[in-house]
Amino acid sequence: MLSPVAVTCGDPAGIGPDLVLSLPTTFPGKPLVAIGDHQVLTQRATQLGLSVTLANWKPGQPVPSGSLAVWDTPAGAPVTAGQPDPTTAEGTVTMLKRAAQGCLDGTFSAMVTAPVAKNIICDGADPAFTGHTEFLAEQAGVDQVVMMLTASPGGEPLRVALATTHLPLGQVPAAITADSLIRTLTILRDDLVSKYRIATPRIMVLGLNPHAGEGGHLGREELDVIIPTLERLRGQGFDLTGPLPADTAFQPHLLAQHDAVLAMYHDQGLPVLKYAGFGEAINITLGLPFIRTSVDHGTAFELAGTGKAKAGSLIAATRLALDLAAPQDSQDD
């Protein structure tokens, strides 16, 4: 039997609670547990005019059918939709810890995260907080994880992983080393096998510089680091293409020949993916000992409580988490 999938509600003043309230009608009968402030969810449902039954839940209890199970995690202060407050940051961090630890101890089979505001958590709870991805790696005790976003424009999956994540652009070249690329590509290859069940993943690797360095005339990172590393990994059985110029890599015929793309930095690969599937894309953290998916957007405080927020990305992330967590012989839509 599938253990519940945890869904964290994100910043309580953002659109996370709005989106989570849409899940019971989209996934009736599925074992989902919302982790967040029960009172906030109740107030937001009333504000949005939604008829959703919320049931208090604790670890070890069965997930009730016909309602949204909620592991009550108080925000720590009164919440007004659209008005972020750093005094709620500790509650948000507790929510994330509960989901992560529940995945590690088997309480949950996967976790899905609604958006948080990094600046609010930095101001109110953890000045070193840089995002879900790094926080969950720390909770799981792993040295490196890989951020990958996926979308299905036209029905074909597009998966873009990142060699570096939330770094200032000036720090990116120094962060791309042979060791970091080997770890990143190993995590990407291994999780495509274990989580996506792709027997022999084909990975396209982008260059760092324009025209992939133009033979060293536009930068030497390709010649000195990327090409030798890819050759080394090919000798170990990796199926790798590249490094390819980023401006011509995202062509349909090339994408059709690969299972994933590795971009060198955040804004090299993600604008293409988000253009292709914004509002329906999914963020998945590879390299964790559990499944974690997330939305592709932020807290959108200006939309909280208005009924205008679109739940497509959270629904897609939840569907993927349920699919990846299901036993291989019992997957369904």
Q: Say if residue 274 carries a ligand binding annotation.
A: yes
CA dihedral 195, 112, 176, 185 (to 10 degrees): 0
Q: Say if residue 258 carries a ligand binding annotation.
A: no
Please give the helix or strand (H or E) that residue 231 lies within, else none. helix 227-234
Please give the helix or strand (H or E) that residue 256 lies within, else none. none
d(CA 17, CA 219): 46
Q: Say if residue 297 carries a ligand binding annotation.
A: no
Q: Say if residue 98 carries a ligand binding annotation.
A: no
Q: Say if residue 292 carries a ligand binding annotation.
A: yes
* Exposed / middle / buried, residue 173 (Cβ in 10 Å: 0-12, 13-18, 19+): middle
Distance of CA 268 to the CA centre of its chain: 17
Q: Say if residue 132 carries a ligand binding annotation.
A: yes
Contacts of the segment 247-256: beta carbons below 8 A, 24+ positions apart: 247/210, 247/211, 249/204, 249/206, 254/204, 255/156, 255/158, 255/204, 256/156
What is the maximal distance between C-alpha atoms in the chain?
63
d(CA 300, CA 10): 11
* Exposed / middle / buried, residue 235 (Cβ in 10 Å: 0-12, 13-18, 19+): exposed
Q: Which distant-in-sequence residues (6+ apart) come within 8 Å of 161 by Cβ? A: 146, 147, 148, 184, 188, 260, 261, 262, 263, 269, 286
In the chain, the amino acid numbered 265 is: Y
d(CA 7, CA 64): 15
d(CA 314, CA 34): 12
- Residue numbering of the annotated binding site for substrate: 132-133, 274, 283, 292
Binding residues: 132-133, 166, 211, 266, 274, 283, 292
Residues placed in the known binding site for a divalent metal cation: 166, 211, 266
